[in-house]
Amino acid sequence: MESIQATKQRFGIIGNDPKLNRSIEKAIQVAPTDISVLIVGESGVGKESMPKIVHSLSHRKHGKLIAVNCGAIPEGTIDSELFGHEKGAFTGATTTRNGYFEEANGGTVFLDEVGELPLTTQVRLLRVLENKEFIKVGSSKVQKTDVRIVAATNVNMFEAIKKGKFREDLYYRLSTIEIGLPPLRERKGDIHLLFRKFASDFATKYKMPTIRLEDDAVFLLEKYHWNGNIRQLRNVAEQISVLEQNRSVTTLTLRNYLPNLGSNLPAVVSDKSPDSDFKNEREILYKVLFDMKSDLSDLKKLTLELMKNGDAKEVQKDNESLINKIYGNTSVDNESEEVTKYPEEPYAESKSEYLQIEAPVVQNVEEDKYHFAEEVEEEETLSLQDKELELIKKSLERHKGKRKLAAEELGISERTLYRKIKQYDL
Note whether 190 and 24 are within 8 A (CB): no
Residue range 385-412, pLDDT digits in tens: 777 888 888 888 888 888 888 888 888 8
Domain that holds residue 247: 187-263
**Which pLDDT does position 202 carry in this prediction?**
96
Q: Are residues 41 and 129 in the same domain?
A: yes
Q: Are residues 409 and 366 in the same domain?
A: no
Stretch 52-57: mean pLDDT: 96
Q: Are residues 178 and 242 in the same domain?
A: no
Residue 379's pLDDT band, with cuts at 50, 70 and 90, is very low
Note whether 82 and 101 are within 8 A (CB): yes
In a domain, 282, yes or no: no
pLDDT at 249 over 80: yes
User: Of 319 and 375, which is predicted with more confidence?
Assistant: 319
Provide the 3-class DSSP secondary structure of residue 361: coil
Q: Answer positive or negative: Cα dihedral of 306, 312, 314, 315.
A: positive
Buried b (16+ CB within 10 A) or exposed e, 114-138: bbbbbeebbebbeebeeeeebbbbe
Q: Are residues 388 and 325 in the same domain?
A: no
Q: Last residue of a domain, which of 124, 152, 182? A: 182
**Which pLDDT does position 351 carry in this prediction?**
41
Q: Alpha helices, DSSP H only, in 105-228?
A: 119-131, 157-162, 168-174, 188-206, 215-223
Number of domains observed in the structure of the chain: 4
Q: What CATH number is given to the structural domain containing 36?
A: 3.40.50.300
Residue 246's pLDDT band, with cuts at 50, 70 and 90, is very high
Q: What CATH number is given to the structural domain containing 243?
A: 1.10.8.60
In a domain, 284, yes or no: no
Residue range 72-123, pLDDT digits in tens: 999 889 999 999 999 998 888 899 999 999 999 999 999 999 999 999 999 9
**Which pLDDT does position 261 carry in this prediction?**
72
User: Of 378 and 283, which is predicted with more confidence?
Assistant: 283
End-to-end CA distance of the chain: 77
Question: Whole-angstrom Cα distance, residue 77 to residue 396?
Answer: 44
Mean pLDDT of the chain: 81
In a domain, 268, yes or no: no
Residue range 166-207, pLDDT digits in tens: 999 999 999 999 999 999 999 999 999 999 999 999 999 999
Q: Are residues 129 and 212 in the same domain?
A: no
Residue 17's pLDDT band, with cuts at 50, 70 and 90, is very high
pLDDT at 414 over 70: yes
Q: Are residues 8 and 113 in the same domain?
A: yes
User: Of 171 and 379, which is predicted with more confidence?
Assistant: 171
List phi, psi (to 5°) of 149. Answer: -105, 125
Which residues is 177 bridged to in the sheet? 37
Q: Are residues 321 and 339 in the same domain?
A: yes
In a domain, 272, yes or no: no
List phi, psi (to 5°) of 399. Answer: -105, 15
Q: Are residues 103 and 216 in the same domain?
A: no
**Which pLDDT does position 299 carry in this prediction?**
75
